[in-house]
Amino acid sequence: MAEMRKNKVKSSSSSSSPSSSPSSGFLNRSFTMHAPAKVDSNHSKVHLFLKNQQSQNRAPPAAKVHDSMDSVKGKVKQLRSLFESGKPSSGLPTPKDPSAKPLLRTTKSSISSGFINPTIRLPGTEDRIVVYLTSLRGIRRTFEDCYAVKMIFRGFRLWIDERDISMDAAYKKELQNILKVRKLTLPQVFIKGKYIGGADVIKSMFEMGELAKVLDDFPRRQPGFVCNGCGDVRFVPCGNCNGSRKLFDDDEGSIKRCFECNENGLIRCPDCCD
Q: Are residues 248 and 201 in the same domain?
A: no
Q: What is the DSSP letter of 61?
A: P
Residue 88 is predicted with a pLDDT of: 46
Residue 253 is predicted with a pLDDT of: 84
Q: Are residues 171 and 265 in the same domain?
A: no
Residue 104 is predicted with a pLDDT of: 38
Q: Are residues 207 and 230 in the same domain?
A: no
Residue 52 is predicted with a pLDDT of: 65
Rounded Cα distance, 26 and 32, in Å: 8
The helix (H) or strand (E) run that includes residue 255 is: strand 254-257
Domain boundary among 214, 234, 263: 214
Residue 48 is predicted with a pLDDT of: 67
88 falls within a domain: no
Range of the domain at 190: 103-214
Identify the CA nearest to 239 among candidates 254, 256, 258.
Answer: 258
Rounded Cα distance, 77 and 74, in Å: 5
Tens place of pLDDT for every residue, the chain, 274 residues? Answer: 455 555 544 454 444 444 444 444 444 444 444 444 444 555 565 566 666 666 555 555 555 545 656 665 666 566 556 545 444 444 444 444 545 444 433 344 344 444 557 789 999 999 999 999 999 998 999 999 999 999 999 999 999 999 999 999 999 999 999 999 989 999 999 999 999 999 999 999 999 999 999 999 999 988 888 999 999 899 999 999 999 999 988 888 889 999 999 999 999 999 998 7
* Number of compact structural domains in the chain: 2
pTM, full prediction: 0.58
261 falls within a domain: yes
Q: Are residues 237 and 137 in the same domain?
A: no
Contacts of the segment 237-246: beta carbons below 8 A, 24+ positions apart: 237/261, 237/265, 237/266, 237/267, 238/265, 238/266, 238/267, 239/267, 241/265
216 touches 227 (CB < 8 A): no
